[in-house]
Structure 1
Amino acid sequence: MTTPDTPSSSRRVAVVTGASSGIGEATARTLAAQGYEVVVGARRLDRLQTLAQEIGGRAIALDVTDDASVTDFCAQLDRVDVLVNNAGGAQGLATVADADLEQWRWMWETNVLGTLRMTKALLPALVDSGDGLIVTITSIAAIETYDNGSGYTSAKHAQAVLHRTLRPELIGKPVRLTEILPGMVETEFSLVRFDGDAEKAAAVYDGLTPLTAGDVAEVVGFVASRPPHVNLDQIVLKPRDQASARRNVKTG
């Protein structure tokens, strides 16, 4: 079995999208520590370059909502063994009645079509690797709904269905698929959702201990270290202080 710790000429390559911060950055560090050559992609190239230097990886600008950007990114890859579809996010907390269509479009473009673009583009290389792995970071919002979250929950449900549909479609091919569904994780996620309002973002986690980006990254690392015959289909992880998308120690 090929392992990450092979000579550089056959070193396994992991691609991580949305790697300029949060779960993506932590995942890149975890996989690099396991011996992977990690290629990180995101729009904030300055952050990516700093990360790549620290982990001995490669940084390539990537906007998963842009066809040309995805094509250019993938054209620079000679080999791909692991794809971590992490790029995504949420905007707004409007009701369905007050839904902002531009926010919905952004969430669907980023979470759903972004995952589709990257997966479709890199699937041939993943198959050719002989032991490909696709990890898609969705959310408990892919299996639950909550008030004022329809834009994000619908996008995450769609992203998850895309990923889950691949599982039977790829039966017989050397590609494993794992969906990771985190609950509350303290990253820049809430800051983006609240349009940069740091006070509102911090208030989300007041009174409870959320997961960290590193917690999720450790799970990705565990998945990536399994032997080729083991497929971890779905992994749901939440902080102890959270029971569901609607219920935690603050909400009772």
Structure 2
Amino acid sequence: MHGPPDARSLNRRAAIKVGVALAGGIPRLGALSTDAPLQEPARLKARPGDPTLKAFAGRQQINTDGAQALAWVPESVKRDVASPLVLFLHGALRRPEIYLEQHISMADETGTIVLAPFSTIGTWDAIRGAFGRDIGVIDASLRWVFERWRIDPRRIVISGFSDGGSYGLSVGVANGDFFTRIVAWSPGFMIPVKTIGKPPVLISHGTEDQILPIDRTSRQIVPALRAAGYTVDYREFKGPHAIQKPILEEMIRELAGRR
């Protein structure tokens, strides 16, 4: 499966900017810390509980508390049974609908709810500097889901592609007491955060990636995460900047089967 248009259409200037940010490795990983201030800006507050609002199956267009998101809820989901949840963070240029479509068939097969928020700008805020409004967007989107469906706290995955993979890795390790797995498709780097917990990590990256070349990204991110004590399932594949459908399907099946 080739990457969606937003991934392939990054211009040369953007690619050079990414390369400069990654030059000399990924020094930002060295800032993974358990000693950062408790008011860590990457922390999420939303937590699953008893749903209280009316809910519907199918495609959901979410507009709540300044947040926009899309969600897919399979017909098989029942409000009295806790469901698995995939929180998916899009790549640059803000096209979550493309990624949502990639998840639907497997979501329907496994009864998995998929949530795909929109970043407030073309990409996620901390990619350009610091965590800000987008953490609030993710929090509000999660609250919207938790108010309508019962979610299993043991089966919540944060997943993201490209810029969303970088952001998801960073938000994931900052909320390791909330997410049960972190999945990054072709990530570029990590942002300094206070780490909590050690959820398992899955990283997939193409050896022919022209947008975020693997030697400067995942081949450095993975050893750094392992050195920090994370269990990392690392999948290289021969191909471009893309999400591999077989790995995506495997991830959702494993999530749905975990109790």
TM-score tier (shorter): 0.3 to 0.5
Q: Which has the higher contact order (CA 8 A, sep 6+)?
A: 2
TM-score, normalised relative to structure 1: 0.42
TM-score, normalised relative to structure 2: 0.42
- Identify the structure with the greater strand proportion: 2
